[in-house]
Amino acid sequence: MRNTVKFLREKNELTQQELANILVVSRQTINSLETGKYNPSILLAHKIAKFFDTVIEKVFIFEEE
């Protein structure tokens, strides 16, 4: 699964730490999301999509093999 978290964060001129504070997660969680090392829970995915005023499918793109 790929995602657009880094793109959305940078577009909104936020640091990883600022986004982490808003979502109440660690900066390391944001970094792991952006580098594709971590897939979020549905709750966190929803919080991210809601914060960026979009739908989960626009943030997290599932790619079938």
Segment 10-55, tens digit of pLDDT? 999 999 999 999 999 999 999 999 999 999 999 999 999 999 999 9
Q: Is 44 in contact with 23 (CB distance < 8 Å)?
A: yes
Place of tokens 């079938």: 64
Domains and CATH numbers, the chain: 2-52 (1.10.260.40)
Sorted by sequence, the CB contacts under 8 Å of residue 26 that are 6+ apart come out as 20
Q: Is 2 helix (H, G, I), strand (E, B) or coil?
A: strand
Q: Is the pLDDT of residue 65 over 80?
A: no
Dist. CA 65–CA 45, nearest whole Å: 22
pLDDT at 5: 98
DSSP label at 25? S
pLDDT at 63: 82
Dist. CA 27–CA 63, nearest whole Å: 26
